[in-house]
Amino acid sequence: MAENFQTRIEAVYGTLSKVHKKIADYIINHYQKASFMTAAKLGETVGVSESTVVRFATNVGFDGYPELQKYLQEMVKSHLTSVQRMEVAATRYEGSDFVDKVFVSDAELIKATRESISREAFEGSVEAINNAKKIYILGVRSSAAIASFAAFYFRFLNDNVVLIDTSSSSELFEQMFRISSDDVCIAISFPRYSNQTINALSFAQSRGATIISVTDGESSPIAPFATHLLVAKSSMVSFVDSLVAPLSVINALIAACAKEKKDLVYDNLRMLEDIWDEYRVYSTDREEKQ
């Protein structure tokens, strides 16, 4: 994708002014860092004004600097190494109040996800999950924690929930080989995307399973496999991903599915509460005081 951007710049490079060429050269050579710079910061780094950076963006075919920045971010986020992510974070999260910057960024991701997520895809996902014979849940590497969370709660709704262990590629297929058109596969994947997830979804699709892809956009490699695509915004915080918005989407899925099957959930929880009490699974206030 970096090559595509360079080709785009080269097509108009001869028509650019001297200062615009300076901006273009910097972005091409440092696009990882530039992708998360504000127009003001990029201008300061290059030695031009903020308004010059904004005009550059429109001159090379974007509606404005925000669109150029979004293009650059999409270009780099799935390809950055951990070291490059640290370098980007150093630029993006300058200043002393790191907590505030991260929390504000997370809140913006949740807000953007709430406003953009397809309600049709969400409702279709809820219906598919509640009608599924078996639910397979797949998440690799950083997405594994969200997959585990989803499996924990979906087991209150369905007796046949399979959290796929992705520690071995061969074992992954051994766990999925019975998947069929009666089943649902919930796949969670964010940059850097795992080939294991892509291969597993290709297999699930070939078996006719309904696929719910929870990922960061239509350009994600797991998006084409989706029967229902749930887009959740993500971002980089240092070398780790901010996955608060995907977790919120999973929370919403669990709550919506439980609402539709509330009688079953009530019965299951009543039985579990008796079991938890009998075997003292949870600490009680009385035990804590003793």
Residues 104, 152: one domain?
A: no
pLDDT of residue 1: 44
Residues 79, 219: one domain?
A: no
CB atoms within 10 A of CB 69: 19
In angstroms, rounded to a whole number, what is the distance separating the alpha carbons of residues 193 and 198?
Answer: 8
pLDDT of residue 287: 55
Residue whose tokens read 């075997």: 279
Q: Is there a domain that residue 285 lies in?
A: no
Q: Is there a domain that residue 203 lies in?
A: yes
Residues 170, 188: one domain?
A: yes
The residue from 87, 108, 129 where one domain ends is 108
Residues 181, 87: one domain?
A: no
**Alpha-carbon distances, residue 64 vs 60, 70, 121, 227 (angstroms):** 10, 10, 30, 34
What CATH number is associated with residue 201?
3.40.50.10490
Amino acid letter, residue 125: S
The residue from 90, 108, 126 where one domain ends is 108
The low-confidence residues of the chain, meaning pLDDT below 70, are 1-4, 77-96, 236-240, 285-290
Write the DSSP assignment of 252-284 as a string of letters: HHHHHHHHHTHHHHHHHHHHHHHHHHHTT-S--
In angstroms, rounded to a whole number, what is the distance separating the alpha carbons of residues 130 and 192?
Answer: 30
The residue from 55, 75, 108 where one domain ends is 108
Question: Measuring CA to CA, which residue among 65, 53, 73 is closest to residue 1?
Answer: 73
Please state the separation of Cα 233 from the chain's center in Å. 6
pLDDT of residue 91: 60
Q: Which pTM value belongs to this model?
A: 0.76
Q: In total, how many domains does the chain have? A: 2
Residue 178 structure tokens: 């019975």
Domain encompassing residue 7:
2-108
